[in-house]
């Protein structure tokens, strides 16, 4: 049997677009002589549809799409992802399902059993747990079809009570097919291939694994669909961060293309000293780079925008954001604006100018001193002679936010935010000022990772001026300000943040690893008392296993470690 895997980039709720893409995929598969063509999870509506699943109208449009797709299934088996109704009055109204279509008919519907409900996932919110497992017979083969998380319930402490493949094995399948919408993070691709391989080794069957690709707001689906033979060898792997199509003949024995299948390396066993090297290792940084380009590109395309604007301070964060945006959208589509205040050093403007000279993108210099003075004189009757404080620092940052938004509104740009994860974690930023923006590019990268990414961007050529990489970070909102006046040095800070945020270690555990108690308490308090700021922050392109935003849900008025 010839099986085609179609790895595509869908648009949530854009039924016409998704249906058209799926039909194109079917026709490509037909032309290539496929007997069966496999698409990814919930491809009909796009993943994750979130609360649109609560609208009867949205669900009936999924079924309308299935009808349209059915018309193209003469002589070919098609597996597509779509919600399916739960006919039992007990439980939730929907299943997350794989629909098997053939010769204009629905031949089978497979319900997802393991519903991820953690981090960015919410599937128990919408779907009932599948409890009925049947292989699909097609052209003399018995197919064990599962959906994404269904193959992840392995190990000593499984998250779910049921393991669908264990049940399906009782019906003697010939091969496994898994349709996924499995997102990228810099740990996850290795994990994913390790999990596919573990299934293959456990059940001694080949697996055809089809993943989605493309960014949905902050979540990056990286594709990387794979085929493993029954002996644990990866015989086919598809592109990452791009659409792809492959056709595989189940009867041909493929030579291994990769003898050294990656072995799952658990980042959870890192010692404190290993954390920064791990976070900044070259493989991670290269993948992060590609993920961020896809994230920027898809956000603009799916929102219907072409052009970005950002504040270019002469610092490392805005430099890296500008370089990435120029690569993602084209340098002519990214406008950089330097907005020096009276506290800005001359090298800041020089560095910003040099960077835009190198990238050849539109660049303006708008001094903010006159507006700042106008604020101060307007507020004089209220502030009187109180000393310069955080209030005056924030005024400057918010003037910049207002200027950038004004130009964005006037000419149709989206404002890119340039904050990094170390700042966002500790609340070291100004709401409505440097925290403004429609999309955060670096908000899931700790400062040390931003440096590593800058070096990666500069690997062949000095795009980001070296002076930006070497000077001490500063917000330049008061005379001679340095980040290190307010925050611990970044290699220490990032380590503590990683242990608390990604690894969810409590203060006692982090201290037991040898980190200074007062410092741990101070940092964790900063994180917990700045929830209210992050709550108003824009979507952050997610590249780690625990990004701020939809995947991390904290009380705002809580009083834990604060």
* Contacts for 17 with CB less than 8 Å, ≥ 6 apart: 10, 11
In the list 253, 255, 260, 559, the residue contacting a second copy (rule: CB under 8 A) is 559
In the list 173, 224, 314, 507, the residue contacting a second copy (rule: CB under 8 A) is 507
Alpha-helical regions (H) of 270-420: 272-279, 282-303, 316-329, 346-359, 369-383, 390-411
In the list 64, 67, 124, 249, the residue contacting a second copy (rule: CB under 8 A) is 124
In the list 509, 513, 516, 522, the residue contacting a second copy (rule: CB under 8 A) is 509
In the list 265, 268, 374, 484, the residue contacting a second copy (rule: CB under 8 A) is 374
Rg (alpha carbons) of the chain, rounded to whole number: 26
Which among 222, 455, 185 has a CA at the least distance from the CA of 316? Answer: 455
In the list 75, 370, 479, 514, the residue contacting a second copy (rule: CB under 8 A) is 370
Q: Which residue has the tokens 């925290």?
A: 435
Binding to a second copy in span 383-402, by CB under 8 A: 383, 386, 389-392, 394-395, 398-399, 401-402
- Beta bridge partners, 100, equal 79, 108
Contact between 512 and 518 (Cβ < 8 Å): no
Q: Is 538 among the residues known to form the active site? A: no
Q: Exposed, middle or buried by CB within 10 Å (0-12, 13-18, 19+), for 514?
A: exposed
Task: Pick the stretch among 230-238, 324-332, 381-389, 464-472 that binds a second copy (CB under 8 A).
Answer: 381-389
Q: Is 41 among the residues known to form the active site? A: yes
Q: Which is nearer to a second copy, 224 or 507 (CB)?
A: 507
Q: Which is nearer to a second copy, 55 or 231 (CB)?
A: 55
Strand order in the sheet with 2-7: 105-111, 94-102, 77-85, 36-38, 2-7, 244-249
The number of residues in the chain equals 562
Q: Does 62 bind a second copy (CB under 8 A)?
A: no
String marking each residue 90-109 x if it binds a second copy according to CB under 8 A: xxxx----------------
In whole angstroms, give the CA distance from residue 96 to residue 269.
34
Q: Which is nearer to a second copy, 379 or 513 (CB)?
A: 379
Cα distances from 356 to residues 46, 370, 442, 530, in angstroms, run 37, 25, 19, 33
Q: Does 537 bind a second copy (CB under 8 A)?
A: yes
- Beta bridge partners, 208, equal 177, 227
Q: Does 87 bind a second copy (CB under 8 A)?
A: no
Task: Pick the stretch among 53-61, 63-71, 236-244, 262-270 that binds a second copy (CB under 8 A).
Answer: 53-61
Q: Is 190 among the residues known to form the active site? A: no
Q: Which is nearer to a second copy, 30 or 503 (CB)?
A: 503
The size of the interface with a second copy (CB under 8 A), counted in residues, is 103
Q: Does 50 bind a second copy (CB under 8 A)?
A: yes
In the list 64, 504, 512, 517, the residue contacting a second copy (rule: CB under 8 A) is 504
In the list 56, 75, 140, 479, the residue contacting a second copy (rule: CB under 8 A) is 56
CB of 55 to a second copy, least distance (A): 5
In whole angstroms, give the CA distance from residue 73 to residue 13.
23
Q: Which is nearer to a second copy, 103 or 124 (CB)?
A: 124
String marking each residue 251-280 x if it binds a second copy according to CB under 8 A: ------------------------------
- Beta bridge partners, 223, equal 240
Q: Does 555 bind a second copy (CB under 8 A)?
A: yes
In whole angstroms, give the CA distance from residue 540 to residue 218.
5
Q: Exposed, middle or buried by CB within 10 Å (0-12, 13-18, 19+), for 543?
A: buried
In the list 69, 436, 464, 523, the residue contacting a second copy (rule: CB under 8 A) is 436
Residue 195 φ then ψ, to 5°: -70, -45
Cα torsion 136, 138, 144, 149 to 10°: value is: -80
Binding to a second copy in span 175-204, by CB under 8 A: none
Q: Exposed, middle or buried by CB within 10 Å (0-12, 13-18, 19+), for 473?
A: buried
CB of 408 to a second copy, least distance (A): 8
Q: Does 558 bind a second copy (CB under 8 A)?
A: yes
Binding to a second copy in span 204-223, by CB under 8 A: 215-217
Q: Does 303 bind a second copy (CB under 8 A)?
A: yes
In the list 431, 454, 463, 523, the residue contacting a second copy (rule: CB under 8 A) is 431
In the list 1, 12, 469, 519, the residue contacting a second copy (rule: CB under 8 A) is 12
Active-site amino acid positions: 41, 112, 148
């Amino acid at each position: 049997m010839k099986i085609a895997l179609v790895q595509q980039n869908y648009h949530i709720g854009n039924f016409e677009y998704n249906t058209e893409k799926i039909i194109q995929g079917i026709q490509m598969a037909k032309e290539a002589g496929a007997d069966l063509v496999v698409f990814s999870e919930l491809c009909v509506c796009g993943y994750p549809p979130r609360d649109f699943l609560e609208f009867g109208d949205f669900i009936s449009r999924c079924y309308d799409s299935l009808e349209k797709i059915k018309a193209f299934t003469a002589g070919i088996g098609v597996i597509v992802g779509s919600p399916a109704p739960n006919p039992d009055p007990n439980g939730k109204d929907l299943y997350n399902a794989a629909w098997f279509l053939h010769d204009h008919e629905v031949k089978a519907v497979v319900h997802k059993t393991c519903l991820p409900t953690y981090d960015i996932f919410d599937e128990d919110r919408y779907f009932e747990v599948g409890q009925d497992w049947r292989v699909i017979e097609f052209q003399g083969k018995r197919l064990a079809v599962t959906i994404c998380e269904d193959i992840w319930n392995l190990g000593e402490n499984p998250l779910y009570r049921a393991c669908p493949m264990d049940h399906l094995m009782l019906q003697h399948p010939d091969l496994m097919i898994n349709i996924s919408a499995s997102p990228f993070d810099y740990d996850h691709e290795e994990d994913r291939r390790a999990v596919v391989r573990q299934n293959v080794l456990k059940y001694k069957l080949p697996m055809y694994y089809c993943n989605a690709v493309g960014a949905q707001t902050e979540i990056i689906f990286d594709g990387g669909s794979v085929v493993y033979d029954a002996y644990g060898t990866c015989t086919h792997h598809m592109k990452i961060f791009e659409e792809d199509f492959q056709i595989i003949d189940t009867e041909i024995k493929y030579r291994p293309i990769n003898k050294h299948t990656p072995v799952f390396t658990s980042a959870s066993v890192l010692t404190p000293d290993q954390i920064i090297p791990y976070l900044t290792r070259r493989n991670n940084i290269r993948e992060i780079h590609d993920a961020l380009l896809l994230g920027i590109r898809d956000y603009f395309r799916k929102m219907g925008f072409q052009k970005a604007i950002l504040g270019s301070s002469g610092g490392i964060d805005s430099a890296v954001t500008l370089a990435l945006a120029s690569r993602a959208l084209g340098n002519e589509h990214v406008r950089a604006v330097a907005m020096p205040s009276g506290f800005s050093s001359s090298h800041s403007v020089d560095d910003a100018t040099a960077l835009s000279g190198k990238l050849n993108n539109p660049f303006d210099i708008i001094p903010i001193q006159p507006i700042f003075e106008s604020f101060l004189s307007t507020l004089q009757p209220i502030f009187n002679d109180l000393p310069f404080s955080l209030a005056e620092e924030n005024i400057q940052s918010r003037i910049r936010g207002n200027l950038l938004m004004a130009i964005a509104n006037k000419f149709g740009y989206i404002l890119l935010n340039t904050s990094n994860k170390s700042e966002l974690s500790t609340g070291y930023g100004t709401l409505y000022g440097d925290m403004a923006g429609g999309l955060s590019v670096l908000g899931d990268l700790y400062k040390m990772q931003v440096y590593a990414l800058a070096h990666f961007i500069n690997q062949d050529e000095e795009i980001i001026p070296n002076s930006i990489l070497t000077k001490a970070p500063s917000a330049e909102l008061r005379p001679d300000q340095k980040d290190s006046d307010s925050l611990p040095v970044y290699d220490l800070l990032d380590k503590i943040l990683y242990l608390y945020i990604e690894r969810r270690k409590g203060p006692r555990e982090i201290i037991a690893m040898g980190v200074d108690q007062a410092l741990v308490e101070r940092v964790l308090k900063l994180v917990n008392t700045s929830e209210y700021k992050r709550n108003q922050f824009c979507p952050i392109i997610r590249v780690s296993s625990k990004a701020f935003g939809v995947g991390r849900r904290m009380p705002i008025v809580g009083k834990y470690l604060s």
